[in-house]
A and B are shown apart, each in its own frame.
Chain A
């Protein structure tokens, strides 16, 4: 299954400071070091990852692979990040399903970020084979004072159904950045939900979603941002729509404090004719021009 692993993890897993590989519902390989400890939860329902205070530049890989059909894997991964630690977590889930039964992975990730810690969390979903592939990731994040969480998620084709829920609570001076990239085709269904509470003074959230919906696919983007204090949020949802696809964006911004500054931008539309024309005048065909515009958009 190493090829599936390569599809979801960009770095070489052996070079990570620590890792935990889960295949078909069980941990099959693990590495720890003196700063990063991985502890099993009961009934192999998941893991607790403890990162010591002041750990610098740690890299943790936690790939999940499902290669058997008719698997429903529910996993709880809890990250306890010590004060001032600075780490990168690379999570990814690959489903290889060639049977007609559904394979499903529901990852529940909880992040507890200590004071002034910094986490970059990269997640990639990848599905292959004609069987039904379902992902339902839930992310919960608790950001202590001055901490920073940077989430990057990518899901390009291959996943039949996803409902993604991301919830975050931010204390003072905490920063949350989310970059989401999504491409759906065929009859795929993707729903994304962001619920962000800006509780502390100067907490800020920056959410950017770029998506392409093609053929008969459906996408729904909901964001619910509450400013409980002097805080800042910028939510931007930008979708290219084609064929018979449908895209729905439901923005909610709720300021409960007069000094909260919350911005929401949502745009759904087909590829601009002017962009296509320009690339065709440079010799690309209509198809090539479309491909270049979409690839650039999701880059």
Chain B
């Protein structure tokens, strides 16, 4: 179980998150959605320890992890897929998957993980994770590094962004599978209706505050908005 208590985050005198209270239960699939700049990524980073909250507490399985490092949280099996994946020089996809799993795996095992995210593995396994990879390819490798870890709490920040329609179906299958056999918590930041459809609960974030938590019906105003995905005032 993950519990956020009175989380506030201020940067450059700007209140980015305002008193967030949230309880996420095991074996559930959550989607955070909300307009650009509403603080979704910031909230996810606070859970992973990439940002430290200005005030408030983060509890994971009843342990206070507010002051734990990223590494400690990773070793407690919290996983985080970045919205914008990092690129390296000289580090290959295979290298990255090996440290994700924390043991030496064969290239065949690495290929199996990659094929889950729709990458034809043999072409990619020895490629460097550098900027010569396309945005969509990087995104899928990012997903693979998280799936490989089988986290107890998996956080995905807009996993569908940059992924083409064809692979998107494949991706939905990956998340459906995750939803079916996951023993932990899955938390996805997304605007995609088909991902929202799989959610057990949807959390709507607006202006750094939780506006609503519930099923898809809380978004009916948004999806009927004539301007499309934008929120209607």
**A in complex with B:** yes
19 CB contacts below 8 A, A to B, read A238-B89, A277-B50, A278-B85, A280-B70, A281-B48, A281-B74, A281-B79, A282-B74, A282-B100, A283-B75, A283-B102, A283-B149, A284-B71, A285-B71, A286-B71, A292-B91, A296-B89, A297-B89, A298-B90
B120 part of interface (Cβ distance < 8 Å): no
A293 part of interface (Cβ distance < 8 Å): yes
B82 part of interface (Cβ distance < 8 Å): yes
Taken residue by residue from 101 to 112, chain B's Cβ proximity to chain A (1 for < 8 Å, 0 otherwise) reads as 010000000000
A274-B71 contact given A279-B99, A293-B91, CB 8 Å threshold: no
CA distance A238 to B90 in the complex (A): 13
Q: How far, in Å, is A293 (CB) from chain B's closest CB?
A: 7
A28 part of interface (Cβ distance < 8 Å): no
A44 part of interface (Cβ distance < 8 Å): no
Question: In the assembled complex, which residues on chain A have CB atoms less than 8 Å from the CB atom of B122?
Answer: none
Question: In the assembled complex, which residues on chain A have CB atoms less than 8 Å from the CB atom of B79?
Answer: 281
Q: How far, in Å, is B81 (CB) from chain A's closest CB?
A: 9
B25 part of interface (Cβ distance < 8 Å): no
Q: How far, in Å, is A157 (CB) from chain B's closest CB?
A: 18
A272 part of interface (Cβ distance < 8 Å): yes
List 5 additional A-B contacts (Cβ < 8 Å) besides A296-B95, A299-B90. A272-B86, A283-B71, A283-B99, A285-B71, A286-B71
Tier of interface size on chain B: 20 to 34
Taken residue by residue from 9 to 26, chain A's Cβ proximity to chain B (1 for < 8 Å, 0 otherwise) reads as 000000000000000000
A244 part of interface (Cβ distance < 8 Å): no
Kindly identify, within residues 248 to 299 of chain A, every residue whose CB is under 8 Å from any CB belonging to chain B.
Answer: 272, 274-275, 277-286, 292-293, 295-299
A296 touching B91, Cβ below 8 Å: yes
A278-B86 contact given A283-B71, A292-B91, CB 8 Å threshold: yes
B88 part of interface (Cβ distance < 8 Å): yes
Taken residue by residue from 209 to 237, chain A's Cβ proximity to chain B (1 for < 8 Å, 0 otherwise) reads as 01000000000000000000000000000
CA distance A210 to B91 in the complex (A): 14
A282 touching B145, Cβ below 8 Å: yes
B80 part of interface (Cβ distance < 8 Å): yes
CA distance A283 to B79 in the complex (A): 9
Question: In the assembled complex, which residues on chain B have CB atoms less than 8 Å from the CB atom of A292?
Answer: 91, 95, 99
Kindly identify, within residues 23 to 72 of chain A, every residue whose CB is under 8 Å from any CB belonging to chain B.
Answer: none
Q: How far, in Å, is B43 (CB) from chain A's closest CB?
A: 16
Question: In the assembled complex, which residues on chain B have CB atoms less than 8 Å from the CB atom of A210?
Answer: 89
B71 touching A280, Cβ below 8 Å: yes
Kindly identify, within residues 82 to 134 of chain B, every residue whose CB is under 8 Å from any CB belonging to chain A.
Answer: 82, 84-91, 95-96, 99-100, 102
Most B CB atoms within 10 A — which of A210, A275, A283, A285?
A: A283
CA distance A297 to B82 in the complex (A): 22
A280-B69 contact given A292-B99, A293-B91, A296-B91, CB 8 Å threshold: yes
Can you name the residue of chain B whose Cβ is closest to the Cβ of A283? B74
Question: In the assembled complex, which residues on chain B have CB atoms less than 8 Å from the CB atom of A286?
Answer: 71
CA distance A295 to B96 in the complex (A): 13
Q: How far, in Å, is B204 (CB) from chain A's closest CB?
A: 26
Taken residue by residue from 142 to 182, chain B's Cβ proximity to chain A (1 for < 8 Å, 0 otherwise) reads as 00010001000000000000000000000000000000000
Q: How far, in Å, is B35 (CB) from chain A's closest CB?
A: 24
Taken residue by residue from 47 to 84, chain B's Cβ proximity to chain A (1 for < 8 Å, 0 otherwise) reads as 01010000000000000000001110011000110101
B89 touching A277, Cβ below 8 Å: no
Q: How far, in Å, is B41 (CB) from chain A's closest CB?
A: 13
Can you name the residue of chain B whose Cβ is closest to the Cβ of A295? B90
